[in-house]
Amino acid sequence: MDLVLLRLSALGDILRVLPAWANLHEAFPDARFRAVVEDRHAFLLEPMPWVKPVLVARKRLSNPLTALGELKRVAGLLRGAEASLDFHGILKAALIPRLGEVPERWGDGVTKEFAGSLQTHPLPFRRQTRYDQALGLAGAFGRSRGAEGLDRFRPVLAQAELPDPGPVWLQDGKPRAVLVPGASRRGAIKRWPLRHWIELARMMKDRWDLRWSLGPEEVELRSWLPEATGVPALPPLGFWHLAAALRQADRVVSPDTGLLHLAVVLGVPVLGLYGSSDPVVAGLPPGTGRVLRTGISCAPCRERACQRRQCMDELAPEWVAEAF
């Protein structure tokens, strides 16, 4: 069996399809798997050596003058595949197996830009988490080949071989928690107010061994936040070294970002701090943690330029501390 898996981007979304991909590999261990992802996300496949990355050049895909040529180039690499499973549902992703003449083209039920019209086996739409959306596609494809149970969630990186992050934790017997105050620039609306993070750290640091996780967008915070709060920051780490440090924690507290979903697939219990994020679509698999939100009338939303920020401002540190 020769299978093509498609999820071009983004970081958090690729992490959320890994349980489905791992289930497919477990059901069909002798199959050839190729995963079509943007070149900037190729590193996410490193713990899964059984899948071969087929890389799409993001710069060429983003340029209207070169996008079609890039899609044709990638499609040419997939000729001869038996089936494709589209976990993205946008036109660019759907075009690749169509141009590659893949005979069976499956879709997970969520489509944009008429992508479903290019699929031979589109699933019906269901409003559900992105985890369940991906697992549903794996389950449906598995049943078509006589394999059951591919729609179950499991933390697929809980036992994955990861690099040693070094001595990042105290050995004092306290439970460990990672606090993630940042988000990407594009996802800035998802950030919980910094004053709330500082108050939460003050409330919890005597009972928990806390660490800040501060990425490239939080360089300025790294210069003063640890000293001001008495909570150390994890050292600057590569992605998989950071994953190993997170896996040693007992809890990860984060807005709806890639690190939240990394913790989920690592098997670390999470507290998700949600404002504008949809608690259904961006929700968590059962048993992996809790989503905390105010539930105000205007949330969820997609207003990236919103200036009110009530949905996060009114999510009190006391609520989060109680949820620990």
Is there a single domain that holds both residue 138 and residue 244?
no
How many domains in the chain? 2
pTM metric for this prediction: 0.96
Predicted confidence (pLDDT) at residue 307 exceeds the cutoff of 80: no
User: Does residue 111 fall inside a structural domain?
Assistant: yes
pLDDT, residue 189, reads: 85
For range 313-324, the mean pLDDT: 95
User: Does residue 150 fall inside a structural domain?
Assistant: no
Q: From CA 252, how far away is CA 263, in angstroms rounded?
A: 7
Q: From CA 108, how far away is CA 126, in angstroms rounded?
A: 9
Is there a single domain that holds both residue 139 and residue 186?
no
Quickly state the pLDDT bin for 305 (edges 50, 70, 90). Answer: confident
pLDDT, residue 184, reads: 77
User: Does residue 115 fall inside a structural domain?
Assistant: yes
Find tokens 């440090």 and name the residue.
245
Tens of pLDDT, residues 20-60: 999 999 999 999 999 999 999 999 999 999 999 999 999 99
**Coil, strand, or helix at residue 180?**
coil
Residue 284 CB-half CA count within 13 A: 27
Quickly state the pLDDT bin for 171 (edges 50, 70, 90). Answer: confident
Check which CATH number belongs to the domain holding 113 and give it: 3.40.50.2000
134 and 20 Cβ atoms separated by less than 8 Å: yes
For range 5-24, the mean pLDDT: 97
Tens of pLDDT, residues 74-115: 999 999 999 999 999 999 999 999 999 999 999 999 999 999
User: Does residue 165 fall inside a structural domain?
Assistant: no
Residue that terminates a domain, selected from 144, 163, 189: 144
User: Does residue 105 fall inside a structural domain?
Assistant: yes
Q: From CA 286, how far away is CA 284, in angstroms rounded?
A: 6
Tens of pLDDT, residues 229-282: 999 999 999 999 999 999 999 999 999 999 999 999 999 999 999 999 999 999
Q: From CA 213, how far away is CA 276, in angstroms rounded?
A: 22
Is there a single domain that holds both residue 307 and residue 181?
yes
Predicted confidence (pLDDT) at residue 302 exceeds the cutoff of 80: no
Quickly state the pLDDT bin for 324 (edges 50, 70, 90). Answer: confident
Is there a single domain that holds both residue 140 and residue 201?
no
**Coil, strand, or helix at residue 188?**
helix
Predicted confidence (pLDDT) at residue 66 exceeds the cutoff of 80: yes
Is there a single domain that holds both residue 30 and residue 102?
yes
Is there a single domain that holds both residue 71 and residue 185?
no
Residue that terminates a domain, selected from 102, 122, 144: 144
Is there a single domain that holds both residue 180 and residue 314?
yes
Question: Which residues is 53 bridged to in the sheet?
Answer: 35
User: Does residue 305 fall inside a structural domain?
Assistant: yes
User: Does residue 134 fall inside a structural domain?
Assistant: yes
User: Does residue 139 fall inside a structural domain?
Assistant: yes
Residue that terminates a domain, selected from 121, 144, 167: 144
Structural domain span for residue 239? 176-323
Is there a single domain that holds both residue 319 and residue 180?
yes
Is there a single domain that holds both residue 127 and residue 199?
no
**CA 96 to mean position of chain CA atoms:** 23
Mean pLDDT lowest for which of 8-12, 28-32, 98-102, 299-303? 299-303
Is there a single domain that holds both residue 69 and residue 129?
yes
pLDDT, residue 292, reads: 97
Residue ranges with strand state E in the chain = 2-6, 32-38, 51-56, 83-86, 104-107, 121-122, 176-179, 209-212, 251-255, 270-273, 289-292
Tens of pLDDT, residues 182-234: 887 777 789 999 999 999 999 999 999 999 999 988 999 999 999 999 999 99
Helix axes 11-27, 130-144, angle to 10 degrees: 20
Is there a single domain that holds both residue 204 and residue 317?
yes
- The backbone torsions φ and ψ at residue 90, rounded to the nearest 5 degrees and listed phi first, read -110, 165
Is there a single domain that holds both residue 100 and residue 201?
no
Q: From CA 126, how far away is CA 179, in angstroms rounded?
A: 33
